[in-house]
Amino acid sequence: MDADVIIQVQGKAGRIRLNRPKAIHALNTGMCRAMLDALAAWHADPAVEIVLIDHAEGRGFCAGGDIRMIAESGAGDGQEARDFFRVEYQLNHALFTCAKPVVAFMDGITMGGGVGISQPAKYRIATENTKFAMPETGIGLFPDVGGGWYLSRLPGRMGEYLALTGHRLDGAECLALGLASHYLPAEALGDVKARILADPASVEAILAELSGTAPEPRIAEHRADIDRLFAADTVEGVFAALEADGGEWAAAQLATLRTKSPQSMKISLRLVREGRARASFAEEMAQEFAIGARVAQSHDFIEGVRALIVDKDNAPQWNPATLEGVSEESIAQIFAPLPAGEAWTPA
């Protein structure tokens, strides 16, 4: 059986190639563990000068995490889900703190867990195939894997907008927002990888030389609307601003938000707002693990996965069904620190 992730050293480079094509390379616990172990080994190996992360066969870079497993675990004791989050977040943190440059090739779908393993990289390559999103509010989850850190550091209220709506960005938009460091045509990636493998020390010059000119970012025309309409302190305030606007674009965002989990939207808005002031990435991951450990066992997540992934009826029955039904007390409990023995720590 082929490995779900192919890990090897080629020349002076450590290579991580996601290899679950039928699942669009979604991460499972074993993949995260293998990648974490590889990073630890390469950290201590002077022969490895750079780390490359991409996908092997098939489309997409990485569609996320093993959502079905997490939901099945959440419906029980939640232990397998917590084990997955713990290792996945340790991998995210190891990439964030990696002493050697990391190059992530976001060629294709880059969502959820794929965001978590690409955003910590020093070099983040987008292409015309890139589809970047944190769509978790649609399945009763929240933008984890460091989403509270990365989204909160985007310009204006872009982080709030992306977290709440799950809007998909293309490669040009990722470049414009700083989510990608370079934009390359997909047909150039083979040449780029070969040249970096041959001469890791020249990675910056290679990427600069082969980068293409990105199209105009479509998101730019809505920047002012986003900053104005997603500025409220509460999700209810965002809804009110969109309702009062009366414009076509605002109406479309409102229609999108009405399909999302009210609980997830409240969690996500608070996560982005608090993420701006978070002192360290490790602190962010500890907070997200506390939330994830609880949300994995929540009604909305299990129901969201049923409706969008298992039965595919796209008709989740959220509970509470309204924003007003989600109390501040319930959100505070979800954000509360875990007991010392259960809390997340770096590997």
Residues serving a catalytic function are 65, 113, 136, 144
Q: Which of 12, 13, 220, 223 is nearest to 105 (CA)?
A: 13
Distance CA 54, CA 187 (A): 14
Q: What angle do CA 46, 49, 50 make, to 5 degrees?
A: 145
The vertex-8 CA angle with 6 and 9, nearest 5°, equals 160
What distance in Å separates the CA atoms of residue 287 and residue 142, rounded to the nearest whole number?
12
Q: Note whether 51 and 11 are within 8 A (CB).
A: no
| Type and span of the H or E element at 170 | strand 169-170
Residue with tokens 């990439």, as numbered in its chain = 95
Question: Which has the closest alpha carbon to 262: 331, 203, 180, 194?
Answer: 331
